[in-house]
Chain A
Amino acid sequence: MVGGFVSRGFRGRRRGGREGAADPDRLPPGQYAEAGFPVLTAGPTPRIEATAYRFRIEGLVRHPHQWSLDELRALPGSTFSGDIHCVTKWSKLDTSFGGVSVDTLLDQVEPLPHATHVVAFSYGGYTTNLPLDDVRGGRAWLVWEHEGAPLPPEHGGPARLLVPHLYLWKSAKWVAGLRLLDHDEPGFWETLGYHRRGDPWQEQRYWGD
């Protein structure tokens, strides 16, 4: 910054009054409330026909498995309602996604005892890594609906991973599957300086935080 220069009178779009009268305790450090749902993308939007979509879990599991969207929809459903946080500092409060809990899927494939981490991989080549514990215990979903409507392609449709207690780059769009590993394998942004875990409440944005 040029010696602490401040642009006179600039507040930024988010300052038109806190949308939804957000309780400041709901915002992790360094975040602001955003009413919209910004589209951030690192490449072309994959175009996947719903009927062609497949999600699989492989790696250190007893029974690797693949599901179609119909098969996923036939499983007991689960909805997330709450807040999502992007490392670029916006948080979207009181939103909802519908799909299936990752616990339901993991129960079917039976992770091996020495599995400690996952890599989520997507159509189009995106990857992100997480500790296995962060996708268990009711904290992660595979979702295909956003606020009651089918998840649009620009937000990851037909389906994306949702891990709302971590920064949103961990919620891989156009997710094609999870691979369970016994070691951590940094993904697309993690190999570029972003944090391996990404907990917004500890402001784990970058390597070294």
Chain B
Amino acid sequence: MARTALLGRLTWRLARVAAIRRETPRCTTLVLEVPGWSGHRPGQHVDVRLTAEDGYQAERSYSIASAPDGEQVELTVERIDDGEVSPYLVDELHAGDQLELRGPVGGYFVWQPDLGGPLLLVAGGSGVVPLMAMLRHRANQRGTVPTRLLYSSRTAADILYRDELQRLAAADPAVRVTHALTRAQPPGWDGYARRIDAAMLREVSWPPAERPLVYVCGPTRLVEAVATDLVELGHDPARIKTERFGPTGA
């Protein structure tokens, strides 16, 4: 059984921005080096804190996008237009800057291969970030758990990690990735062209008798609707874990 206790209380520490990678028009990945990082579990997040010269502070939580990898931690941040923290992280930070963070935290919303499956991952927008950490870790571990990702985005340009997801699915018959585009679809689109609903979940998911482990992440409204639909389809609520991101749109 994985050890759940931390050694001593968690405190803030400084990470260094090693690289910045633009993913989509709205989202950017920060590649961080965190001295003393003792690893994390896929699905966990960090709290990031910004401090202005006069002491004003703002804090937000960001899911870790990367699989455990030494002292390197990647965060994929969606730029919220009238946000306070994300525009700074996306527009202002340079490689070489430092960033204060606390973590990893959130042992509840975690998946590792030893938890089994089958595994159903449902993402709305940037909610795919912690689920990507799970998929990347599964690939690193040469996992064999049958896994399905249902991922809703506004347009094709907004799909995070699109090529990587395609490669993962192509390389592993046990991984299936299904996209839903809610606002606009490119010509010849063969994925879903609407918001996630019960009918879509029934088509994509395993039947309840297979007892999948389910992780749902994204805007609060989407997460609650999906979780409700899954329970109404007969899935066990005890096997559904949610991570609500709050009111940001997808």
**A and B touching (C-beta < 8 Å)?**
yes
Residues of A with Cβ closer than 8 Å to B? 1-2, 5-13, 15, 32, 89
A72-B56 Cα distance, complex, nearest whole Å = 42
Cross-chain contact B51 with A6 (CB below 8 angstroms): yes
A46-B53 Cα distance, complex, nearest whole Å = 40
Considering only CB atoms, which chain B residue lies closest to A15 in the complex?
Answer: B52
Cross-chain contact B56 with A8 (CB below 8 angstroms): no
A13-B12 Cα distance, complex, nearest whole Å = 23
Cross-chain contact A13 with B82 (CB below 8 angstroms): yes
Whether a CB of chain A sits under 8 angstroms from the CB of B14 is yes
Please indicate the chain B residues that have their CB under 8 angstroms from the CB of A7 in the complex: 50-52, 88, 97-100
Cross-chain contact A6 with B13 (CB below 8 angstroms): no
Residue contacts A-B, CB under 8 angstroms, 30 given = A1-B12, A1-B51, A2-B12, A2-B13, A2-B100, A5-B14, A5-B51, A5-B98, A5-B100, A6-B51, A7-B50, A7-B51, A7-B52, A7-B88, A7-B97, A7-B99, A8-B98, A9-B92, A10-B51, A10-B58, A10-B88, A11-B52, A12-B50, A12-B52, A12-B56, A12-B58, A12-B84, A13-B83, A13-B84, A15-B52
A15-B50 Cα distance, complex, nearest whole Å = 14
Residues of B with Cβ closer than 8 Å to A? 12-14, 50-53, 56, 58, 82-84, 88, 92, 97-100
Please indicate the chain B residues that have their CB under 8 angstroms from the CB of A5 in the complex: 14, 51, 98, 100
For the complex with contacts A7-B98, A10-B52, A15-B52, 11 further pairs of A-B residues with Cβ separation under 8 Å are A1-B12, A2-B13, A2-B14, A5-B98, A6-B53, A7-B50, A10-B88, A12-B52, A12-B58, A13-B82, A13-B83
Cross-chain contact B56 with A32 (CB below 8 angstroms): yes
A10-B86 Cα distance, complex, nearest whole Å = 11
Please indicate the chain B residues that have their CB under 8 angstroms from the CB of A89 in the complex: 56
Distance to closest chain A CB from B154 (angstroms)? 24
Cross-chain contact B50 with A10 (CB below 8 angstroms): yes
Distance to closest chain B CB from A178 (angstroms)? 32
Considering only CB atoms, which chain B residue lies closest to A89 in the complex?
Answer: B56
A180-B12 Cα distance, complex, nearest whole Å = 45
Please indicate the chain A residues that have their CB under 8 angstroms from the CB of B12 in the complex: 1-2
Distance to closest chain A CB from B14 (angstroms)? 6
Cross-chain contact B14 with A6 (CB below 8 angstroms): no
Distance to closest chain B CB from A194 (angstroms)? 19
Distance to closest chain A CB from B214 (angstroms)? 24
Considering only CB atoms, which chain A residue lies closest to B88 in the complex?
Answer: A10
Please indicate the chain B residues that have their CB under 8 angstroms from the CB of A1 in the complex: 12, 51
Distance to closest chain A CB from B83 (angstroms)? 8
Please indicate the chain A residues that have their CB under 8 angstroms from the CB of B56 in the complex: 12, 32, 89
Distance to closest chain A CB from B62 (angstroms)? 15
Please indicate the chain B residues that have their CB under 8 angstroms from the CB of A32 in the complex: 56
A58-B14 Cα distance, complex, nearest whole Å = 54
Please indicate the chain A residues that have their CB under 8 angstroms from the CB of B83 in the complex: 13
Please indicate the chain B residues that have their CB under 8 angstroms from the CB of A11 in the complex: 52
Distance to closest chain A CB from B59 (angstroms)? 11
Please indicate the chain A residues that have their CB under 8 angstroms from the CB of B88 in the complex: 7, 9-10
Please indicate the chain A residues that have their CB under 8 angstroms from the CB of B58 in the complex: 10, 12
A1, A7, A9, A15: residue with the most chain B Cβ atoms closer than 10 Å: A7
- What 3 A-B pairs come out closest when comparing CB atoms? A13-B84, A7-B50, A10-B50
Distance to closest chain B CB from A31 (angstroms)? 11
Please indicate the chain A residues that have their CB under 8 angstroms from the CB of B100 in the complex: 2, 5, 7
Please indicate the chain B residues that have their CB under 8 angstroms from the CB of A6 in the complex: 51-53
Please indicate the chain A residues that have their CB under 8 angstroms from the CB of B84 in the complex: 12-13
B12, B14, B50: residue with the most chain A Cβ atoms closer than 10 Å: B50
Distance to closest chain A CB from B246 (angstroms)? 11
Distance to closest chain B CB from A54 (angstroms)? 31
Considering only CB atoms, which chain B residue lies closest to A36 in the complex?
Answer: B82
Please indicate the chain A residues that have their CB under 8 angstroms from the CB of B14 in the complex: 2, 5
